Chain A
Amino acid sequence: MGFELILFYVFAAIAIGTTLLVVVQSNPVYSVLLLIGSFIGLAGLYVLLQAPFVAVIQIIVYAGAIMVLFLFVVMLLNAPREELVTSGILESPATRTIGAMLAIAFAAELAWALNRSSTLAWTVTDVTRRPFSVPEIGRRLFQDYAFAFEATSILILVAMIGAITLAGRQLTEGARLKSRPAGDASRTDGGMAEGGRAEGGRAQL
Protein backbone atom coordinates (compact mmCIF):
# COMPACT_ATOMS: atom_id res chain seq x y z
CA MET A 1 0.00 0.00 0.00
CA GLY A 2 1.64 3.18 -1.12
CA PHE A 3 1.73 6.16 1.15
CA GLU A 4 -0.34 8.11 -1.33
CA LEU A 5 -3.11 5.51 -1.23
CA ILE A 6 -3.26 5.66 2.56
CA LEU A 7 -3.50 9.43 2.45
CA PHE A 8 -6.22 9.16 -0.17
CA TYR A 9 -8.29 6.93 2.08
CA VAL A 10 -7.77 9.19 5.07
CA PHE A 11 -8.87 12.32 3.22
CA ALA A 12 -11.70 10.48 1.50
CA ALA A 13 -12.94 9.21 4.86
CA ILE A 14 -12.85 12.76 6.26
CA ALA A 15 -14.70 14.11 3.24
CA ILE A 16 -17.40 11.45 3.18
CA GLY A 17 -17.86 11.37 6.94
CA THR A 18 -18.27 15.10 7.34
CA THR A 19 -20.48 15.41 4.27
CA LEU A 20 -22.81 12.71 5.55
CA LEU A 21 -23.05 14.50 8.86
CA VAL A 22 -23.80 17.78 7.08
CA VAL A 23 -26.83 16.26 5.44
CA VAL A 24 -27.97 14.15 8.34
CA GLN A 25 -27.84 16.21 11.47
CA SER A 26 -30.17 18.97 12.35
CA ASN A 27 -28.29 21.94 13.80
CA PRO A 28 -27.43 24.32 10.94
CA VAL A 29 -24.37 25.78 12.70
CA TYR A 30 -22.91 22.31 13.02
CA SER A 31 -23.73 21.69 9.36
CA VAL A 32 -21.71 24.71 8.32
CA LEU A 33 -18.73 23.72 10.44
CA LEU A 34 -18.84 20.13 9.22
CA LEU A 35 -18.90 21.38 5.65
CA ILE A 36 -15.75 23.34 6.39
CA GLY A 37 -14.22 20.06 7.56
CA SER A 38 -15.31 18.49 4.28
CA PHE A 39 -13.63 21.28 2.35
CA ILE A 40 -10.41 20.72 4.23
CA GLY A 41 -10.55 17.02 3.37
CA LEU A 42 -11.13 17.88 -0.27
CA ALA A 43 -8.25 20.35 -0.21
CA GLY A 44 -6.04 17.52 0.99
CA LEU A 45 -7.22 15.44 -1.97
CA TYR A 46 -6.41 18.28 -4.34
CA VAL A 47 -2.88 18.42 -2.96
CA LEU A 48 -2.62 14.67 -3.54
CA LEU A 49 -3.71 15.29 -7.13
CA GLN A 50 -0.84 17.78 -7.42
CA ALA A 51 -3.01 20.87 -7.54
CA PRO A 52 -1.77 22.81 -4.47
CA PHE A 53 -2.85 26.15 -5.89
CA VAL A 54 -6.47 25.09 -6.22
CA ALA A 55 -6.32 23.50 -2.77
CA VAL A 56 -5.26 26.74 -1.13
CA ILE A 57 -7.73 28.75 -3.23
CA GLN A 58 -10.47 26.40 -2.04
CA ILE A 59 -9.54 27.06 1.58
CA ILE A 60 -9.32 30.81 1.07
CA VAL A 61 -12.50 31.26 -0.98
CA TYR A 62 -14.78 28.41 -0.03
CA ALA A 63 -13.85 27.60 3.55
CA GLY A 64 -12.70 31.05 4.49
CA ALA A 65 -15.18 33.33 2.78
CA ILE A 66 -18.31 31.56 1.56
CA MET A 67 -18.70 29.56 4.74
CA VAL A 68 -18.24 32.69 6.84
CA LEU A 69 -21.10 34.15 4.83
CA PHE A 70 -23.24 31.09 5.53
CA LEU A 71 -22.35 31.21 9.22
CA PHE A 72 -23.25 34.87 9.50
CA VAL A 73 -26.60 34.27 7.83
CA VAL A 74 -27.34 31.30 10.05
CA MET A 75 -26.52 33.36 13.13
CA LEU A 76 -28.45 36.36 11.88
CA LEU A 77 -31.59 34.41 11.15
CA ASN A 78 -31.13 32.35 14.31
CA ALA A 79 -32.06 29.28 12.33
CA PRO A 80 -33.67 26.80 14.65
CA ARG A 81 -32.97 23.10 14.72
CA GLU A 82 -35.29 21.15 12.53
CA GLU A 83 -36.34 17.56 12.40
CA LEU A 84 -34.99 15.65 9.48
CA VAL A 85 -38.26 14.71 7.89
CA THR A 86 -41.15 16.91 8.91
CA SER A 87 -44.72 16.92 7.83
CA GLY A 88 -45.48 17.67 4.25
CA ILE A 89 -44.71 15.95 1.04
CA LEU A 90 -42.42 13.36 2.50
CA GLU A 91 -44.95 11.70 4.73
CA SER A 92 -46.97 9.90 2.11
CA PRO A 93 -45.68 6.40 1.39
CA ALA A 94 -46.18 6.80 -2.35
CA THR A 95 -43.69 9.65 -2.43
CA ARG A 96 -41.23 7.73 -0.37
CA THR A 97 -41.30 4.64 -2.56
CA ILE A 98 -40.95 6.67 -5.73
CA GLY A 99 -38.10 8.58 -4.12
CA ALA A 100 -36.34 5.42 -3.08
CA MET A 101 -36.72 3.92 -6.55
CA LEU A 102 -35.32 7.04 -8.18
CA ALA A 103 -32.39 7.07 -5.76
CA ILE A 104 -31.60 3.46 -6.56
CA ALA A 105 -31.86 4.17 -10.28
CA PHE A 106 -29.49 7.12 -9.87
CA ALA A 107 -26.98 5.06 -7.95
CA ALA A 108 -27.18 2.30 -10.56
CA GLU A 109 -26.56 4.78 -13.34
CA LEU A 110 -23.52 6.18 -11.56
CA ALA A 111 -22.17 2.70 -10.94
CA TRP A 112 -22.64 1.80 -14.60
CA ALA A 113 -20.84 4.94 -15.75
CA LEU A 114 -17.95 4.34 -13.39
CA ASN A 115 -17.72 0.71 -14.35
CA ARG A 116 -17.46 1.74 -17.95
CA SER A 117 -14.59 4.10 -17.22
CA SER A 118 -12.64 1.55 -15.22
CA THR A 119 -11.91 -0.38 -18.38
CA LEU A 120 -9.84 2.62 -19.42
CA ALA A 121 -7.85 2.31 -16.22
CA TRP A 122 -5.50 5.24 -16.14
CA THR A 123 -2.86 5.03 -13.53
CA VAL A 124 -0.08 7.33 -12.59
CA THR A 125 2.43 5.76 -14.94
CA ASP A 126 0.23 6.21 -17.98
CA VAL A 127 0.36 9.95 -18.30
CA THR A 128 3.01 12.59 -18.03
CA ARG A 129 3.40 13.38 -14.40
CA ARG A 130 4.10 17.05 -14.56
CA PRO A 131 2.78 19.25 -11.79
CA PHE A 132 1.50 22.55 -13.03
CA SER A 133 3.24 25.56 -11.63
CA VAL A 134 1.31 28.62 -10.67
CA PRO A 135 2.87 30.83 -13.36
CA GLU A 136 1.71 28.34 -15.93
CA ILE A 137 -1.83 28.40 -14.61
CA GLY A 138 -1.73 32.17 -14.58
CA ARG A 139 -0.56 32.29 -18.15
CA ARG A 140 -3.35 30.01 -19.31
CA LEU A 141 -5.93 31.96 -17.34
CA PHE A 142 -4.94 35.26 -18.87
CA GLN A 143 -4.30 34.05 -22.39
CA ASP A 144 -6.58 31.17 -23.25
CA TYR A 145 -9.35 31.90 -20.79
CA ALA A 146 -9.11 35.66 -20.68
CA PHE A 147 -12.68 36.27 -21.69
CA ALA A 148 -14.05 33.89 -19.07
CA PHE A 149 -11.89 35.60 -16.48
CA GLU A 150 -13.21 39.04 -17.28
CA ALA A 151 -16.75 37.73 -17.51
CA THR A 152 -16.51 36.19 -14.03
CA SER A 153 -15.28 39.44 -12.60
CA ILE A 154 -18.34 41.22 -13.98
CA LEU A 155 -20.46 38.36 -12.66
CA ILE A 156 -19.06 38.91 -9.18
CA LEU A 157 -19.78 42.62 -9.40
CA VAL A 158 -23.35 41.93 -10.46
CA ALA A 159 -23.78 39.35 -7.70
CA MET A 160 -22.47 41.81 -5.14
CA ILE A 161 -24.88 44.53 -6.22
CA GLY A 162 -27.72 42.02 -6.38
CA ALA A 163 -27.03 40.67 -2.91
CA ILE A 164 -26.92 44.13 -1.38
CA THR A 165 -30.13 45.12 -3.11
CA LEU A 166 -31.96 41.97 -2.12
CA ALA A 167 -30.90 41.79 1.46
CA GLY A 168 -30.74 45.45 2.30
CA ARG A 169 -33.36 46.87 4.54
CA GLN A 170 -36.18 48.11 2.38
CA LEU A 171 -39.62 48.75 3.82
CA THR A 172 -42.04 48.17 0.99
CA GLU A 173 -45.82 48.04 1.15
CA GLY A 174 -46.23 44.33 1.44
CA ALA A 175 -43.29 43.40 3.61
CA ARG A 176 -43.59 43.91 7.31
CA LEU A 177 -40.43 44.00 9.32
CA LYS A 178 -41.22 42.21 12.53
CA SER A 179 -39.45 43.78 15.46
CA ARG A 180 -36.54 41.56 16.20
CA PRO A 181 -33.50 42.45 18.29
CA ALA A 182 -31.07 41.59 15.50
CA GLY A 183 -32.85 44.01 13.22
CA ASP A 184 -32.99 46.82 15.76
CA ALA A 185 -29.44 46.60 16.95
CA SER A 186 -28.15 47.32 13.49
CA ARG A 187 -28.95 51.00 13.52
CA THR A 188 -26.01 52.36 15.40
CA ASP A 189 -22.89 50.80 14.08
CA GLY A 190 -21.64 50.22 10.59
CA GLY A 191 -20.80 46.69 11.56
CA MET A 192 -22.17 43.39 10.54
CA ALA A 193 -25.73 43.31 11.69
CA GLU A 194 -27.23 45.42 8.91
CA GLY A 195 -29.09 42.74 7.07
CA GLY A 196 -27.00 41.20 4.41
CA ARG A 197 -25.03 44.27 3.58
CA ALA A 198 -21.75 43.24 5.12
CA GLU A 199 -22.03 39.69 3.88
CA GLY A 200 -23.07 40.76 0.42
CA GLY A 201 -20.19 43.13 0.10
CA ARG A 202 -17.70 40.79 1.64
CA ALA A 203 -18.53 37.53 -0.03
CA GLN A 204 -16.75 38.27 -3.25
CA LEU A 205 -13.22 37.26 -2.53
Chain B
Amino acid sequence: MAELNHYLVLSGVLFTIGTAGVLLRRNVITVLLSLEVMLNAVNLSFIAFGRFLGSSDGQIIVFFVITVAAAEAAVGLALVIALFRHVETLNPDAFRQLRG
Protein backbone atom coordinates (compact mmCIF):
# COMPACT_ATOMS: atom_id res chain seq x y z
CA MET B 1 0.00 0.00 0.00
CA ALA B 2 1.21 3.50 -0.70
CA GLU B 3 2.16 5.19 2.52
CA LEU B 4 1.75 8.80 3.46
CA ASN B 5 5.43 9.34 2.85
CA HIS B 6 5.12 8.41 -0.79
CA TYR B 7 2.52 11.10 -1.34
CA LEU B 8 4.51 13.69 0.56
CA VAL B 9 7.65 13.01 -1.42
CA LEU B 10 5.68 13.30 -4.64
CA SER B 11 4.15 16.53 -3.44
CA GLY B 12 7.60 17.87 -2.54
CA VAL B 13 9.01 16.97 -5.92
CA LEU B 14 6.14 18.64 -7.75
CA PHE B 15 6.46 21.72 -5.59
CA THR B 16 10.18 21.96 -6.36
CA ILE B 17 9.54 21.64 -10.07
CA GLY B 18 6.94 24.37 -9.85
CA THR B 19 9.28 26.67 -7.93
CA ALA B 20 12.00 26.09 -10.47
CA GLY B 21 9.56 27.03 -13.19
CA VAL B 22 8.49 30.23 -11.48
CA LEU B 23 12.07 31.34 -10.94
CA LEU B 24 13.65 30.25 -14.18
CA ARG B 25 11.17 30.79 -16.98
CA ARG B 26 11.20 34.00 -18.99
CA ASN B 27 7.63 33.90 -20.16
CA VAL B 28 4.93 35.33 -17.91
CA ILE B 29 2.33 32.76 -18.88
CA THR B 30 4.63 29.86 -18.12
CA VAL B 31 5.40 31.47 -14.78
CA LEU B 32 1.69 31.47 -14.01
CA LEU B 33 1.46 27.84 -15.11
CA SER B 34 4.28 26.90 -12.73
CA LEU B 35 2.40 28.71 -9.99
CA GLU B 36 -0.56 26.44 -10.67
CA VAL B 37 1.78 23.45 -10.43
CA MET B 38 2.84 24.59 -6.97
CA LEU B 39 -0.77 24.96 -5.87
CA ASN B 40 -1.53 21.47 -7.11
CA ALA B 41 1.37 19.99 -5.19
CA VAL B 42 -0.01 21.55 -2.03
CA ASN B 43 -3.47 20.20 -2.84
CA LEU B 44 -2.03 16.71 -3.10
CA SER B 45 -0.44 16.89 0.32
CA PHE B 46 -3.66 18.28 1.83
CA ILE B 47 -5.67 15.38 0.52
CA ALA B 48 -3.03 12.86 1.53
CA PHE B 49 -3.05 14.17 5.09
CA GLY B 50 -6.82 14.30 5.13
CA ARG B 51 -6.98 10.69 4.10
CA PHE B 52 -4.42 9.41 6.55
CA LEU B 53 -5.81 11.40 9.44
CA GLY B 54 -9.35 10.25 8.73
CA SER B 55 -10.79 13.72 8.38
CA SER B 56 -12.65 15.28 5.49
CA ASP B 57 -11.03 18.65 6.16
CA GLY B 58 -8.40 17.94 3.55
CA GLN B 59 -10.92 17.70 0.75
CA ILE B 60 -12.76 20.82 1.85
CA ILE B 61 -9.62 22.91 2.02
CA VAL B 62 -8.62 21.67 -1.43
CA PHE B 63 -12.04 22.74 -2.67
CA PHE B 64 -11.31 26.27 -1.48
CA VAL B 65 -7.75 26.24 -2.83
CA ILE B 66 -9.03 25.29 -6.27
CA THR B 67 -11.58 28.09 -6.17
CA VAL B 68 -9.08 30.71 -5.09
CA ALA B 69 -6.62 29.46 -7.70
CA ALA B 70 -9.29 29.95 -10.35
CA ALA B 71 -9.90 33.53 -9.26
CA GLU B 72 -6.18 34.23 -9.13
CA ALA B 73 -5.57 32.73 -12.56
CA ALA B 74 -8.31 34.88 -14.06
CA VAL B 75 -6.98 38.09 -12.59
CA GLY B 76 -3.37 37.17 -13.37
CA LEU B 77 -4.15 36.49 -16.99
CA ALA B 78 -6.13 39.70 -17.27
CA LEU B 79 -3.07 41.52 -16.00
CA VAL B 80 -0.93 39.73 -18.56
CA ILE B 81 -3.24 40.81 -21.34
CA ALA B 82 -3.26 44.40 -20.12
CA LEU B 83 0.53 44.41 -19.87
CA PHE B 84 0.94 42.84 -23.27
CA ARG B 85 -1.08 45.60 -24.83
CA HIS B 86 1.36 48.06 -23.41
CA VAL B 87 4.66 46.43 -24.25
CA GLU B 88 4.49 43.72 -26.86
CA THR B 89 6.47 41.10 -25.06
CA LEU B 90 5.86 38.38 -22.51
CA ASN B 91 9.31 38.50 -20.98
CA PRO B 92 8.96 39.50 -17.32
CA ASP B 93 12.35 41.21 -17.49
CA ALA B 94 10.79 43.89 -19.67
CA PHE B 95 8.62 45.19 -16.85
CA ARG B 96 11.25 46.77 -14.69
CA GLN B 97 9.98 50.29 -14.38
CA LEU B 98 7.04 51.49 -12.40
CA ARG B 99 6.23 54.13 -14.95
CA GLY B 100 4.89 52.73 -18.22
By the criterion CB–CB under 8 Å, are B29 and A90 in contact?
A: no
Bound-state CA distance A82–B27 (Å) is 7
> Does more than half of chain B's interface fall in helix, strand or loop, or is it mixed?
helix
Q: Which of A87-105 contact B (CB under 8 A)?
A: 88-90, 99, 103
Cα distance A103–B51 in the bound complex, in angstroms: 30
- Whether the Cβ atoms of A117 and B8 lie closer than 8 Å is yes
Inter-subunit contact B69/A62 (CB<8 Å): yes
Main secondary structure on A side of the interface with B: helix
In the complex where A73-B81, A117-B8 touch, is A65 in contact with B70 (Cβ < 8 A)?
yes
Shortest beta-carbon distance from B53 to chain A in Å: 7
Binding site for A on B (CB under 8 A): 1-10, 12-21, 23-27, 29-30, 32-34, 36-37, 40, 43-44, 47-48, 50-54, 56-60, 62-64, 66-75, 77-82, 84-86, 88, 90-91, 93, 100
A-B contact list, 29 entries, CB within 8 Å? A5-B2, A12-B6, A12-B10, A51-B51, A54-B62, A61-B66, A62-B66, A69-B77, A70-B29, A70-B32, A73-B81, A82-B90, A85-B26, A86-B26, A110-B15, A114-B5, A118-B5, A130-B54, A132-B59, A140-B56, A140-B57, A155-B68, A159-B70, A162-B75, A166-B79, A166-B82, A167-B77, A174-B100, A203-B73
